[in-house]
Amino acid sequence: MVAYALKGSVRADLIHEPIGTATNGEPVFLKDIWPSNEEIRALIDAHVHSDMFRTRYADVYRGDERWRAIPVSGGDTYGWPAASTYIQNPPYFTGMTMEPVPPGDIEAARPLAVFGDSITTDHISPAGAIKPDSPAGRYLLERQVSRGEFNSYGSRRGNHEVMMRGTFANIRIRNRMLDNVEGGFTRYAPTGETMAIYDAAMLYKQDNRPLVVIAGKEYGTGSSRDWAAKGTVLLGVRAVIAESFERIHRSNLVGMGVLPLQFQTGENAEKLGLDGNEKYTITGIGELKPRQDVTVQVVKDDGREFSFTARCRIDTYNELEYFKSGGILHYVLRRLAAA
């Protein structure tokens, strides 16, 4: 065969394009070196046999020695390993009853964060590295997980304790409640202290204080990351009020029982003076209809009161049924239990 130097990666369909140069200076074309169908078939017939596949996959369900060495305990239900930092029993069904409890009104909710435009699902629920000084990092260190074994949020998505601590923990996210601060931080209203969003959310939860998130355009854009909605609800967020939503994330919020509300055209947080120094009350949630207008009552910390109208972005009656069931997980589980 003629010696040649390849130019680089080559598309197989460009068989008439020069791909290199022979040692004599003549161009080399892909068609000159590409094997014929007959040559390819001859190689397959000579070297690929059914016994290869039978041998390789005969014990595929048996696994290798390491797989078989994993201790297994029997039982009708899964035994959640209490010490695992990778998988934990999620709390979605804690206190669930066979009959759904209608969602209550949102009263005097505090904003957990005020965001700008194009907040992605990776901003909301990052999949990358876990910082040692973050709430998730501290959780792992307290459980004797070394920094070298932190792995990533994406690898620990079976543990809600890690994932809820990572919600809004992206190092590039900006909460407009704080000046020139980057990362997952917020201002805790009762004290004015700056702290991690997770830490503030847990303090609000102790006081039974509902939370809302305020955002701009294209909230939830990016990959359809389910933990962006799961983490939001686990932090205690009852509603997200945004200028617009990415389609799948809006649906995921509804599926987790979080109310998506959309500012009226031409309105946003800045024009309404919503900066995080206020409380929000939304009534009539139990009687919501798809895409109806809702009144949001606002009380500023300086005592001023006003209201604005937002559009309920529960778009269909099926979604409304999921929402009133407490989320799609509760809806499906009740149907299975009743079957």
Neighbours of 267 (CB within 10 A): 15
Task: Give me the pLDDT at residue 40, please.
Answer: 92
Distances (CA, A) of 313 to 42, 171, 258, 268, 293: 61, 29, 11, 16, 9
Among all chains, which residue has been given the structure tokens 């209203």?
Answer: 189
* Residue 307 and residue 298 in contact, taking contact as beta carbons nearer than 8 Å: yes
Ramachandran assignment for 168, one of left (phi > 0), alpha (psi -120 to 50 degrees), beta (any other):
left
* Residue 220 and residue 118 in contact, taking contact as beta carbons nearer than 8 Å: no
Q: How is the chain split into domains, by residue range? A: 4-57, 106-123+171-338, 126-166
Is residue 115 very low, low, confident or very high in pLDDT (cuts 50, 70, 90)?
very high
**What is the rounded average pLDDT of the residues 132-142?**
97
User: In this structure, what are the phi and psi dihedrals at residue 162, rounded to the nearest 5 degrees?
Assistant: -75, -45
Helices (H), 211-268: 226-234, 247-255
Task: Give me the pLDDT at residue 62, please.
Answer: 87
Q: Where are the beta strands (DSSP E) in 118-215?
A: 185-188, 193-196, 211-214
Candidates 140, 173, 181, 172; CA nearest to 159 is 140
- pLDDT exceeds cutoff 70 at 82: yes
3-state secondary structure of 263: strand
Task: Give me the pLDDT at residue 15, please.
Answer: 60
User: In this structure, what are the phi and psi dihedrals at residue 248, rounded to the nearest 5 degrees?
Assistant: -70, -40
Candidates 259, 239, 274; CA nearest to 319 is 259
Helices (H), 144-225: 160-166, 197-206
Distances (CA, A) of 245 to 90, 170, 215, 242, 248: 27, 19, 9, 7, 8
- pLDDT exceeds cutoff 50 at 3: no
Task: Give me the pLDDT at residue 7, please.
Answer: 42
* Residue 332 and residue 265 in contact, taking contact as beta carbons nearer than 8 Å: no
Task: Give me the pLDDT at residue 231, please.
Answer: 98
Is residue 326 very low, low, confident or very high in pLDDT (cuts 50, 70, 90)?
very high
Is residue 35 very low, low, confident or very high in pLDDT (cuts 50, 70, 90)?
confident
Among 47-51, 55-59, 151-155, 276-280, which is the least confidently predicted range?
A: 55-59
Candidates 319, 321, 293, 296; CA nearest to 307 is 296
Q: Give the DSSP H or E segment for 45.
A: helix 37-47
Distances (CA, A) of 303 to 108, 193, 211, 212, 214: 13, 21, 19, 19, 20
- Cα radius of gyration (the chain): 28
Q: Rounded CA gap, 185 and 171, in Å?
A: 10
* Between residues 143 and 25, the one the model is more confident about: 143
* Residue 154 and residue 128 in contact, taking contact as beta carbons nearer than 8 Å: yes
**What is the rounded average pLDDT of the residues 40-61?**
91
Q: Rounded CA gap, 234 and 222, in Å?
A: 21
Among all chains, which residue has been given the structure tokens 């696994």?
Answer: 63
* Residue 126 and residue 149 in contact, taking contact as beta carbons nearer than 8 Å: no
Q: Rounded CA gap, 124 and 228, in Å?
A: 5
CATH code at 106-123+171-338:
3.20.19.10
First to last CA, the chain: 70
- pLDDT exceeds cutoff 60 at 38: yes
Mean pLDDT of the chain: 93
